[in-house]
Amino acid sequence: MAQVLNARTAATGHPVINANTIAALNLGLPSEPKSANARLAAPKTLAGLHGHHPKHNGLLAALPAADYERLLPHLEFVEMPFGTTICSAGEQMQYVYFLTGSIVSLLYETADGASSETAVIGYEGVVGADVFMGGGASLHRAFVKSAGYGFRIKASILTQEFARGGALQQLLLRFTQALFTQMAHTVACNRHHTIVQQLCRWLLLSIDRLQSDQISMTQDLIANMLGVRRESVTEAARKLQDEGLIHYSRGHITVVDRVGLENHICECYAGIKKVYEGLLKTNN
């Protein structure tokens, strides 16, 4: 199994911009320290957040203004380095993460150390459904497979906001249903479809969330995600490259012909995409 930096986010020292700064950004005002002894941060602009904003997350962007403004003071901007384990299976998450420019993989791991990816989450969603669904400890390991950024909120606060009902609760429930649908399709795909089809599904789900045609990922890690042998991934990637659909070199994959890739896959990708597009629509 691939070794990763097991950096628990609650104690990592991820660069964090606090709630006062986030609120000040939204209002266009300079941020202020909470106390006379607090070190005043340099003036923050959206560029200071690497171009990211809470509304770059699909769920936060879909919230009505009043709900969004209520959450805003509690959001913290965080960097999410590749390889970070946000939460291990069996642990309680202290924060919930609204992603903007990263991808988190949910991995199910067996007692003997084998693992496979059950779902991926990007800017369209949130990591931490176990928190607001009342399930307690996480069933998966949440692993950052593509470095980027996001906004976190304390689990206790989001749980309170979820209990209020309304638009936030409905969005989170819709997203969770979409996530469960992705998991079901992934299980069926891994059981019944070829390695080439599985790799195509994995590539398309990844680039959709990156909004880019390029992925940085080794074949060893892809094999771990799919729960297959590395040699199988190598053979499948070579086939796709020979057909001119992708270009692979030194851990970097570029999708050259997306349409060709879509024509190559099983029905699982289309099923997942349709559900996400439908369930995450709002009428606000």
CATH number of the 9-167 domain: 2.60.120.10
For residue 277, what pLDDT is reported? 82
Please give the sequence-ordered ranges of beta strands (E in DSSP) within 25-140, or none if there are none.
76-80, 85-87, 95-99, 103-109, 115-121, 126-127
- Percent of all residues in the chain with a pLDDT value above 70, rounded to a whole number: 79
Query: What mean pLDDT do residues 193-222 have?
Result: 88
| Confidence band, pLDDT 50/70/90 cuts, at residue 266 | confident
Residue 150 DSSP label: E
CA distance readout (Å), 280 to 122, 145, 162, 177, 277: 13, 23, 16, 10, 6
Query: Higher model confidence: residue 111 or residue 256?
Result: 256
For residue 176, what pLDDT is reported? 93
Taking only the tens place, the pLDDT of each residue in 182-201 is 999 888 888 888 999 999 99
For residue 59 the two structure tokens come to: 């769920």
- Percent of all residues in the chain with a pLDDT value above 90, rounded to a whole number: 45
Query: Higher model confidence: residue 261 or residue 14?
Result: 261
CB crowding 28-43: b at 16 or more within 10 Å, else e: eeebeeeeeeeeebee
What residues contact 144, with CB distance under 8 A and at least 6 apart?
80, 81, 82, 83, 84, 85, 86, 102, 103, 104, 105
> Is the predicted pLDDT of residue 30 greater than 70, yes or no?
no
For residue 265, what pLDDT is reported? 83
| Confidence band, pLDDT 50/70/90 cuts, at residue 40 | very low
**Is the pTM here over 0.85, yes or no?**
no
For residue 218, what pLDDT is reported? 85
- What residues does CATH 2.60.120.10 cover in the chain? 9-167
- What residues does CATH 1.10.10.10 cover in the chain? 194-265
- Chain mean pLDDT for the chain: 80
- Of all helices (H) and strands (E), which one includes residue 246? strand 246-249
CATH for 194-265, among 3.40.190.10, 3.30.420.40, 3.30.1490.190, 1.10.10.10? Answer: 1.10.10.10
